[in-house]
A = this chain, B = another copy of it.
């Protein structure tokens, strides 16, 4: 059970900003036997980190202030580091990164287009919620990887610093605008559906999804973490 309490980088943010540990603990137990083969896991995660990067860099582009742009650049650096780390892991394991990522490109590009959001606040919510959900999920799945790789990948997926930046920017944007808050709450509800589909399809082995009874507890916990993320912003999930 020690793996549930693996060492993490010191947290620089207040506890309410990191509602992921319960979700990860449950996911690690439930998902350990559903982890795809290493090249499939790393290939999908490699392309996913590119998508998280593209979402964040769109948020920088749309940001209305210098202050938001420069603050968000730290979040971008964090996911870029995750991407480079995953690519390095593939190379180290003798896996061709491009060939391993390629099969997931069409699905994840389509996901990115659907979730990009209409404007800056929506794109921030996308980065915060889908980034949080999917890194929780892939950290859970990492339980089934060989142990050294498992802990290295979990560290790469610790994007707490960027999540804290997104929360700070979103709080400033939402402050005092109940209309924006209600629009973003709707956007958050829509995002969770698309994001769960992407997570689910990562569990398909040989085209077959595992039985509902195996994956339901995981999604219940991941959705609770999603709700806590919405709470942090003062939005109703």
Contact = CB atoms under 8 A, between A and B. Distances in A.
Interface of A: 46-47, 50, 53-54, 57-58, 60-61, 65-67, 69-70, 73-74, 76-77, 80-81, 83-84, 87, 97-98, 101-102, 105
Contacts of A102: 66
A177 B126 CA distance: 39
B97 A83 contact: no
A61 B58 contact: yes
A230 to B, nearest CB: 27
Given A70-B101, A73-B84, A97-B70, A54 B53 contact: no
A97 B65 CA distance: 13
A63 to B, nearest CB: 10
Closest CB pairs A-B (n = 9):
A57-B57, A67-B98, A66-B101, A77-B80, A66-B102, A66-B98, A66-B105, A54-B61, A50-B69
Contacts of A70: 46, 50, 83, 87, 97-98, 101
13 contacts: A46-B70, A50-B60, A53-B57, A53-B60, A54-B57, A54-B61, A57-B76, A58-B61, A66-B102, A70-B83, A76-B80, A77-B80, A77-B84
A87 B74 CA distance: 11
A161 B81 CA distance: 16
Contacts of A105: 66
B66 A61 contact: no
A208 to B, nearest CB: 26
Residue of A50, A58, A67, A87 contacting most chain B CB atoms (<10 Å): A50
A73 to B, nearest CB: 6
Contacts of A69: 50
Nearest to A68: B98
Nearest to A80: B77
A66 B47 contact: yes
Nearest to A55: B61
Contacts of A57: 53-54, 57-58, 60-61, 76
Contacts of A54: 57, 60-61
Contacts of A67: 98
A81 B78 CA distance: 11
Contact of A73 (B53, B61, B65, B98): B53
